[in-house]
Structure 1
Amino acid sequence: MMIPDKTKLYPRLGDTQTIYLKNAVQDERIQIGDFTIYNDFIHDPRDFQKNNVFYHYPINQDKLKIGKFCSIACGVKFLMNSANHTLDSLSTYPFPIFYEEWDHGMSPKKAWDNKGNIVIGNDVWIGYEAIILAGVTIGDGAIIGTRAVVTKDVPPYTIVGGIPAKAIRLRFPKKDIEQLLELKWWDWSIEKISENLLAIQQGDLSSLTK
């Protein structure tokens, strides 16, 4: 049995548009699981952090966390906390970051509303040019439609789309979703996944639960 090499950058021979994203991002504030892929047919996919993760300023200490076996399409954007000018102020102008100009003594952190990390579960498919906002958690097995703008959490195995993104339907019956979340096949060893790959691909849940 051939064992996939998760340390590769390019998993497909001759395809330089698709990468194992974990092996292209070095910033510790961006955590990516094994075998998650990113495809970019416009830019070099190795420039994911520069082209796809915006307003990720160190001062907020926020993180982008992406699970295993996710599929991220070209042009997906993650907008981190520094995109959120504070709503607690009487002005949306970011006075706190211009402390040298105004000599006000305020912490630059007061310029933004910190909504928390972006957390993407395992086996999530994010469609072309979708936008994920700060503080959003997307559950395991979810699908984000093309050009959707995700402003709220997405439950596991839910398909969402639109602006703002809304639930379209569940991928499977609730009982099957409960079984899948209990199985967590993405945490199995590579060998066990390989042995059960046909059942996974064919949607044969009963074989996985024996």
Structure 2
Amino acid sequence: MRVSAHRPGPVIAGVARILDLLWSSGRRARRAIRGMACAGRFAARGDNFTFDPDGVYTYETIEVGRNVDLGHRPVIMAARSRIRIGDNVMFGPEVTIRGGNHRIDRVGTPMIAVEKSPSDGALDRGVTIGDDVWVGTRAVILHGVTIGRGAVIGAGAVVTRSVPPYGVAAGNPARVIRLRWPVETIIEHEQQLYPPEQRLTTAELAALSDLPRPEARPMPASAVRG
């Protein structure tokens, strides 16, 4: 809906402000009530979990960790598979996560009419998002994808393949453009956040060594002390 921007008189403007306050208060109350009613429908959820009740969710197939913010109006759906979101994860506005897929190979049958069979498991893969992940505005994450711990997904990215831990992925289709930090810094970060048994293994760290390292940035002059 588009609204004319002509300047109203003072009386009309005052009435409009009062009506807007009443409408906003009612909307906030409705959202709060709906949020309380829907929060318990998630398959699992941790403490300090924030979600927008105006988003679209298949609640019973979504598991969410602690200290998670799902952002403004996401679409998170999986009819049969599971969507698992770890701890300390944040989403930008309007992120889409889609578990499952449709068959497009049946000759003589409209795609909407194709019934899935138990043997179609490859079409119903879920999505896993590790701990400490940031997913940017309007990113799309498709079925079968695993986002590794500490990764960053750029705004508008379409993620069709898994992203390694601490990878920074962007584009359509998304590709890993670099690591967040050099491997040495990742090791330090892991040591500060996770107990030994939960840290990346030597093999996992070695695999990260093949990815582009972040560019070294010159130290600003203000930070140099004589």
CA contact (8 A) 2:167 2:180 kept: yes
Deviation at 1:79, TM superposition (A): 1.3
Show the counterpart of 1:52.
75
Q: Secondary structure at the match of 1:176?
A: helix
Query: Could you report, residue by residue, the CA deviation over 1:63-92 in whole angstroms, capped at 9, with x for unpaired residues?
Result: 1100101111110001120xx222554467
Change (3 A) 1:26 1:160: closer
Q: CA RMSD in A?
A: 3.2
Deviation at 1:110, TM superposition (A): 6.4
Change (3 A) 1:174 1:150: same
Between the aligned residues of both structures, percent identity stands at: 30
Change (3 A) 1:111 1:156: closer
Gaps of 5+ in 2: 1-34, 36-47, 196-226
Which of the residues 140, 145, 148 maps onto 2:149?
Answer: 140
Structure 1 position 185 matched with structure 2 position 202: no
Paired amino acid for 1:36: V
Paired amino acid for 2:152: I
Mapped to 2, the partners of 1:143 and 1:115 lie a distance apart of 25
Change (3 A) 1:35 1:121: same
Show the counterpart of 2:97.
78
Query: Could you report, residue by residue, the CA deviation over 1:106-163 in whole angstroms, capped at 9, with x for unpaired residues?
Result: x555678425210000010000000000110000000000000000000011111000
Mapped to 2, the partners of 1:138 and 1:144 lie a distance apart of 9
Show the counterpart of 1:36.
68
> Larger relative CO (CA 8 A, sep 6+): 1 or 2?
1
The structure with the largest alpha-carbon Rg is 2
Show the counterpart of 2:166.
157
Structure 1 position 69 matched with structure 2 position 88: yes
Change (3 A) 1:167 1:179: same
Q: Secondary structure at the match of 1:39?
A: coil
Change (3 A) 1:117 1:111: closer
Paired amino acid for 1:74: P
CA contact (8 A) 2:52 2:71 kept: no
Show the counterpart of 1:93.
111
Paired amino acid for 2:193: W
Show the counterpart of 1:191.
none
The TM-score with structure 1 as length reference comes to 0.59
Query: Could you report, residue by residue, the CA deviation over 1:93-115 in whole angstroms, capped at 9, with x for unpaired residues?
Result: 24433xxxxxxxxx555678425
Show the counterpart of 2:31.
none
Change (3 A) 1:70 1:64: same
Mapped to 1, the partners of 2:52 and 2:145 lie a distance apart of 24
Mapped to 2, the partners of 1:146 and 1:134 lie a distance apart of 18
Mapped to 2, the partners of 1:152 and 1:145 lie a distance apart of 14
Kindly tell me the number of residue pairs found equivalent between the two proteins: 146
Mapped to 1, the partners of 2:75 and 2:58 lie a distance apart of 14
Gaps of 5+ in 1: 1-8, 10-18, 44-50, 98-106, 188-210
The TM-score with structure 2 as length reference comes to 0.55
